[in-house]
Amino acid sequence: MTISQAVIIGASHAGAQLAASLRQEKWDGEILLIGNESAVPYQRPPLSKAYLAGRSTLEELAIRNVEFYAKQNIQLFDATVDAIDRSAGLVALSNGETVRYNKLALCTGARARRLPTPGADLAGVFYLRTAADVELIREAATTAGTAVIVGGGYIGLETASSLRALGLEVTVLEATERVLQRVTAPEVSAFFHRIHEEAGVSIRTGALVQALTGESRVRAVVLANGESIPADIVIVGIGVEPNTELAAAAGLVVDNGVLIDAQARTSDPHIVAAGDCASHDFARYGRRIRLESVPSAGEQAKVAAATMCGKSKEIAALPWFWSDQYDLKLQIAGLNTDYDEVIFSGDPSRDRDFTCFYLRQGELIAADCVNRPRDFMFSKKVITQRTPVERSDLMSAPAN
């Protein structure tokens, strides 16, 4: 009897969920989960929050403990994949070994975008994507007095919050006109700007980084206007790039991620993909989307597992996200793409809890809920079911 082998490349949120879901879908063959870190798959969102601030351990961040994988007969393999031979059904590892697959899943995630400026390779310049990255930052922070964060997105602001908790003086440099400009309404940006400055963070918008300076270690960040900002450490948070090189080299279709259909299939019917590395057509929003979201990674992984088992499921769940900063929990339901109106419950200019509802042609399409979990659950339901809602009802939504 030939035993089928499912190989998952990438021990990410998507990879870990896909392995577990294969067993739930009654895959009775072997499962090999290949990752390039020695730790069991762990949660990544807390890295810039509780883990950086020292409030949690890596063991506490494990998605599932090592006993789970042993019990489910899921083999964890610490290795780097060099190539995929689709015609032979083989995966080539960097140590010279090859692994045969019947079904293959790509859960290769994304990597931090590098800062393309002189001095970016100096010691003391960090990126935050893995637990090892955070450990290096925490070690450097013990002797640092000042930190400069390049990028005012969620990662940058979460990192600023954590570094303030560690006692550092923090400056955030954002190239655009406001923090979170690409993802939130101006009023929400202004709220987080205010919150961080009240916590002692200096936020500079319209700040273009020209160079990082220092002899062997970074000492300052030089802006395009000539200003020099002292920095014992620099953390770069300017977005991520999907890891698609393996897929592209194997001849799979890549378009801002490995292109998948509603069943998580790539252009090769024997290969699926899920997570930050995958992009797909999202009918609800009328465009192709690559989501950097743990819930979406989990949803795609469950669909991919069903597809590998010959079952038919489709990616359909509403995208949602969250961010923890200080005592604030921001929960985001939906995507605010092409919104034409915002309605507020609460006052972001003075409160620490409010909801920003995004509408397009009168339909609720997204919501940013700060310390308002009830509004978040309400919004998810309304957006998913496309339930008509009165503007007056949104404005008078009760505080939690």
pLDDT by 10s per residue, the chain, length 400: 345 799 999 999 999 999 999 999 999 999 999 999 988 999 998 999 889 988 899 999 999 999 999 999 999 999 999 999 999 999 999 989 999 999 999 999 999 999 999 999 999 999 999 999 999 999 999 999 999 999 999 999 999 999 999 999 999 999 999 999 999 999 999 999 999 999 999 999 999 999 999 999 999 999 999 999 999 999 999 999 999 999 999 999 999 999 999 999 999 999 999 999 999 998 878 888 999 999 999 999 999 999 999 999 999 889 999 999 999 999 999 999 999 999 999 999 999 999 999 999 999 999 999 999 999 999 999 999 999 998 888 887 655 5
pLDDT above 70 covers what percent of the chain?
A: 98
Please name which of 276, 383, 392, 372 lies closest in space to residue 339, comparing C-alpha atoms. 383
* Cα–Cα dist 382/372, whole Å: 16
Read off the tokens for 376. Answer: 């978040």
Domains of the chain in sequence order: 5-111+240-308 (3.50.50.60), 114-236 (3.50.50.60), 327-395 (3.30.390.30)
Tokens representing 321 are 């996200």
Strand, coil or helix: 93? strand
Region of 151 (left: φ > 0; alpha: ψ -120 to 50; beta: rest) is left
User: Residue 398: its pLDDT value, please?
Assistant: 55
DSSP string, 153-166: SHHHHHHHHHHHHT
User: In which residue are the tokens 């404005």 written?
Assistant: 395
> Residue 2 has what pLDDT?
46
Residue 52's SS3 state is coil
CA distances from 53 to 63, 141, 184, 197 (A): 20, 10, 25, 19
Q: Which two tokens stand for residue 303?
A: 């669909």
By the 8 A CB rule, do 224 and 129 touch? Answer: no
d(CA 110, CA 124): 22
Q: In residues, how long is the chain?
A: 400
The strand pairing partners of 366, in sequence order, are 334, 358
Question: Which pair of tokens denotes residue 181?
Answer: 């400009």
The DSSP letter of residue 230 is E
